[in-house]
């Protein structure tokens, strides 16, 4: 078991270092280092608006978790909803495929005695709608161009959407199949996990969907404001499509944070909008600092609080 943990850490470290190398390559190629003064030309009040939008996105994620908890018979406080939601921004983003997000289900199980199945059900609705919305926006690339990396992204989008819908409607079958496989693995106990996804009512599903949609729209608007801070008024729809595509490609890479892959892809797409190479990289790096890197630091701080809270429960 210790060997397995060390292997996972080593894989994560290798992926993270690979991401850093890729990011460093794109930064060097962009010429942003020689023209670092570009960052000082940005409109600070507009960047403050962009940061506020990032905070708005985080607030909506906290609200979504609190709402989902109430629908699974747990009246979680705003304080705890904030602790667990913001902590997960750290755990999810330092792991490949955001698998660390399972911390939220673990937190609810330990602190609120919630069944693991219900915790996973809540995570399922969060991830399902986030991916679905990003995929739908990314699929709009078909109206812009069909060549190179966009064809690959579009094919991946169509296939994944089909899998997501099939998985949702046949979730019971897939979990039973997973359960049968798991109990035969040598490193698991010979007992069934008996994990079941508890489906929400249609009105509650819509509620979660619109919370998620609004939070993602705030991300699109944030990137638009960051570009505006550097003097570019970009097409909002194209910005939304390109950000969605870069996020998808970053997820596929399995590199934590999509580091390097996401930045390079988004910078490439923004170049197509007539932005110079240096300004494109400046926009992308600034947006990532105000969103993902900011959320990662905030999540790391809150993760310390969440660990302390769970320690109190254990005692």
pLDDT tens for 136-182 read 888 777 666 555 555 665 666 667 667 666 766 666 665 666 555 54
The tally of domains found in the chain comes to 1
Domain membership of residue 19 (yes or no) is no
The answer for residues whose C-beta is within 8 angstroms of residue 148's C-beta and 6 or more apart is: none
pLDDT at 187: 40
Domain housing 306: 52-310
> What's the whole-number average pLDDT of the chain?
79
Token output for 20: 């850093």
pLDDT value, residue 93: 79
In a domain, 20, yes or no: no
Bigger pLDDT: 16 vs 214: 214
Residue 180 lies in a domain: yes
As a three-state string, the secondary structure of 134-199 is HHHHHHHHHHCCCCCHHHHHHHHHHHHHHHHHHHHHCHHHHHHHHHHHHCCCCCCCCCCCCCCCCC
pLDDT > 90 fraction of the chain, expressed in percent and rounded: 29
pLDDT digits (tens, 9 = 90+) for 247-264: 888 877 777 777 778 888
* Residue 201 falls inside a structural domain: yes
> In this structure, is residue 37 part of a structural domain?
no
Cα separation, 243 vs 241, whole angstroms: 6
Q: Which two tokens stand for residue 151?
A: 């064809």
Check residue 6 and give its pLDDT.
57
Cβ burial 187-198 (10 Å sphere, 16+ → b, else e): eeeeeeeebbbe
Identify whether 98 is part of a domain: yes
DSSP structure class, residue 232: -
Q: What is the pLDDT of residues 36-79, one digit of tens each?
A: 778 888 999 999 999 999 999 999 999 999 999 999 988 899 99
Neighbours of 13 (CB within 10 A): 11
Token reading at 72 = 């699974």
Asked if residue 249 is part of any domain, the answer here is yes
Higher pLDDT, 23 or 230: 230
Question: Is 114 a domain residue?
Answer: yes
Q: What is the mean pLDDT of residues 109-129?
A: 84
The three-class DSSP label of residue 200 is coil
Average pLDDT over residues 218-229: 96
The predicted pLDDT at position 255 comes to 77
């Amino acid at each position: 078991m210790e060997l397995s943990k060390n292997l996972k850490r080593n894989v994560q470290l290798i992926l993270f270092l690979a991401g850093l190398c890729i990011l460093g390559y794109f930064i060097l190629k962009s010429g942003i280092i020689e023209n670092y003064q570009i960052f000082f030309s940005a409109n600070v009040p507009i960047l403050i608006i962009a940061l506020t939008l990032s905070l708005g996105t985080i607030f909506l994620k906290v609200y979504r978790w609190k709402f989902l908890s109430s629908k699974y018979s747990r009246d979680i406080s705003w304080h705890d909803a904030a602790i667990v939601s913001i902590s997960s921004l750290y755990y999810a983003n330092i792991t490949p495929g955001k698998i660390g997000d399972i911390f939220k289900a673990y937190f609810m199980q330990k602190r609120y005695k919630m069944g693991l199945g219900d915790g996973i059900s809540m995570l399922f609705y969060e991830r399902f709608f986030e991916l679905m919305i990003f995929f739908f926006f990314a699929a709009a690339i078909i109206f812009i161009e069909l060549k190179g990396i966009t064809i690959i992204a579009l094919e991946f989008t169509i296939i994944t959407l089909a899998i997501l819908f099939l998985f949702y409607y046949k979730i019971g079958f897939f979990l039973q199949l997973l359960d049968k496989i798991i109990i035969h693995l040598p490193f698991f106990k010979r007992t069934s996990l008996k994990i079941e996804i508890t489906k929400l009512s249609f009105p509650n599903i819509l509620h979660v969907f619109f919370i998620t949609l609004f939070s993602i729209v705030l991300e699109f608007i944030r990137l638009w404001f960051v570009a505006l801070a550097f003097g570019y008024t970009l097409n909002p729809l194209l910005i939304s499509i390109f950000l969605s595509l870069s996020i998808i490609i970053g997820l596929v890479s399995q590199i934590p944070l999509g580091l390097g892959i996401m930045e390079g892809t988004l910078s490439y797409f923004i170049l197509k909008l007539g932005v110079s190479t240096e300004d494109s990289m400046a926009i992308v790096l600034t947006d990532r600092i105000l969103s993902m890197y900011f959320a990662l630091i905030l999540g790391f701080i809150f993760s310390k609080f969440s660990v302390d809270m769970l320690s109190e429960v254990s005692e």
